[in-house]
């Protein structure tokens, strides 16, 4: 059966991995919409290759270039943030939500409102609008499938089991490129070093989040909304090999773990084929060659991000949105050379301490909180 597919963030790493799988199973898919931020030539190439019905560039200044690149193709084109939302609202059997950061929130919500399957890679959207988004999923009968490797692993380990039987859920963290660095060395870390992840091929923002451990903190909050077992049952452990992606412990003492290669095509394939399975080109694990799997507790002195994220989740309401917005702005400031690596967590902590908005009741409320938190963090970065 041919299914329809939209990819929001088609030119990023998740989009590329998704479309690689579609390319290998081309007869199974009809591509509705592909979107990108500003990578017009890549977007046009993909739109032509997959005969997309619509191509959208979020940066409206790039729309003329997109029109030119797709002239004569019969593919509809559009530009601007609202056009991305409208593309998501076209609806598809499966929508891959892979726009990085809070920019993906409105398009993801638009896709949810169509009631299809949402393969979610944009953790920031759920972190910022967890209660609003999960309520929308229920209201519109959508299915939310996580494609972060950790949450997809949890989803697989929970398959066929009752959350009431869960004793704990453990998210694994690689520890990033700085896991063995001293606090003194961390203060001098450069953007080039921070984006050089030892295990995964990811974009700059998520790579820095891995280096600070904010990625794992955001994933903790995301897991809180996806798998509501209680924050006291959610744990984080550092696992440098990135082979075990998450674990679920049950009340009888059984622990189920999902293992796989460090390749995002594995969790993406799980979501695309759900409730079935599909082939991927990924090599099977060779545990003998890997040799050993090691685990250790996270160090929240050197990497306070997970502690801040847990506190934000415990506070609830709009506080996770504040944390996410402050982190996005602080990461951008670090990548631009404005602040030191260790100031990312410090700035997030400061904004969390001085900003306590009312709980959001709508997407508009979330976006207002996001904007205010960003403004406060930019002021901090500018004065650094």
- Known binding site for NADPH: residues? 11-14, 122, 124, 203
Closest C-alpha to 120, from 141, 139, 136, 96: 96
Closest C-alpha to 91, from 66, 61, 114: 114
CA distance 365 to 329: 19
Contact (Cβ atoms closer than 8 angstroms) between residue 19 and residue 7: yes
Of how many residues is the chain composed? 384
342 to 163, 173, 253, 303, 308: CA distances (angstroms): 37, 19, 39, 9, 14
**Packing angle of the helix pair 319-335, 305-315 (nearest 10 deg):** 150
Instruction: Give 210's DSSP letter.
Output: H
Contact (Cβ atoms closer than 8 angstroms) between residue 108 and residue 8: yes
List residues forming the annotated binding site: 11-14, 122-124, 148-150, 174, 197, 203, 210, 215-216, 219
List residues forming the annotated binding site for Mn(2+): 148, 150, 219
225 to 4, 45, 126, 180, 255: CA distances (angstroms): 27, 37, 8, 31, 21
List residues forming the annotated binding site for 1-deoxy-D-xylulose 5-phosphate: 123, 149-150, 174, 197, 210, 215-216, 219
Taking CA 348 as the corner, what is the angle to CA 200 and CA 208, rounded to the nearest 5 degrees?
Answer: 15
Detail the DSSP E strand segments found in 14-121: 29-36, 54-57, 76-79, 94-97, 117-120
User: Burial of 176 by CB count in 10 Å (0-12 exposed, 13-18 middle, 19+ buried)?
Assistant: buried
What helix, strand, coil percent values describe the chain, rounded to 5? 50, 15, 35
Contact (Cβ atoms closer than 8 angstroms) between residue 170 and residue 235: yes
* Continuous segment of H or E residues that includes residue 305: helix 305-315
Whether the upstream peptide bond of residue 347 has omega within 30° of 0, thus cis, is no
Q: Which residues pair with 237 in a beta bridge?
A: 172
């Amino acid at each position: 059966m041919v299914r329809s597919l939209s990819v929001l963030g088609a030119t990023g790493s998740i989009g590329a991995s998704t479309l690689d799988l579609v390319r290998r199973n081309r007869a199974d898919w009809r591509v509705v919409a592909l979107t990108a931020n500003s990578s017009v030539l890549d977007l046009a190439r993909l739109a032509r290759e997959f005969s997309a019905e619509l191509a959208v560039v979020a940066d409206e200044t790039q729309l003329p270039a997109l029109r030119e690149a797709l002239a004569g193709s019969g593919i509809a084109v559009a530009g601007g943030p609202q056009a991305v939302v409208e593309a998501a609202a076209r609806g598809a059997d499966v929508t891959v939500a892979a726009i990085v950061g809070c920019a993906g929130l409105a398009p993801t919500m638009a896709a949810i409102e169509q009631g299809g399957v949402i393969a979610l890679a944009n953790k920031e959207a759920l972190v910022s609008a967890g209660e609003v988004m999960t309520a929308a999923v229920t209201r519109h009968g959508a299915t939310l499938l996580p494609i972060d490797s950790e949450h997809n692993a949890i989803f697989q380990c929970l398959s066929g089991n009752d959350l009431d039987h869960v004793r704990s859920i453990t998210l694994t963290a690689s520890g990033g490129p700085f896991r063995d660095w001293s606090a003194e060395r961390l203060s001098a870390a450069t953007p080039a070093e921070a984006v050089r992840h030892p295990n995964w091929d990811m974009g700059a923002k998520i790579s820095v989040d891995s280096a600070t451990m904010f990625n794992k903190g955001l994933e903790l909050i995301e897991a809180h909304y996806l798998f509501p077992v209680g924050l006291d049952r959610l744990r984080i452990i550092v696992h440098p090999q990135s082979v075990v992606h998450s674990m679920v412990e049950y009340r009888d003492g059984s622990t189920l773990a999902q293992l796989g290669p460090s390749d995002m095509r594995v969790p993406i394939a799980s979501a695309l084929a759900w409730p079935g399975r599909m082939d991927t080109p990924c090599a099977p694990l060779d545990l003998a060659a890997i040799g050993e799997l090691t685990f250790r507790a996270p160090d929240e002195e050197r990497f306070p991000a997970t502690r801040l994220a847990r506190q934000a989740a415990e506070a609830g309401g709009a506080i996770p949105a504040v944390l996410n917005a402050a982190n996005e702005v602080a990461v951008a400031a670090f990548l631009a050379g404005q602040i030191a690596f260790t100031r990312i967590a410090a700035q997030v902590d400061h904004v969390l301490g001085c900003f306590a908005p009312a709980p959001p009741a709508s997407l508009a409320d979330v976006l207002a909180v996001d904007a205010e938190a960003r403004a406060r963090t930019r002021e901090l970065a500018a004065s650094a």
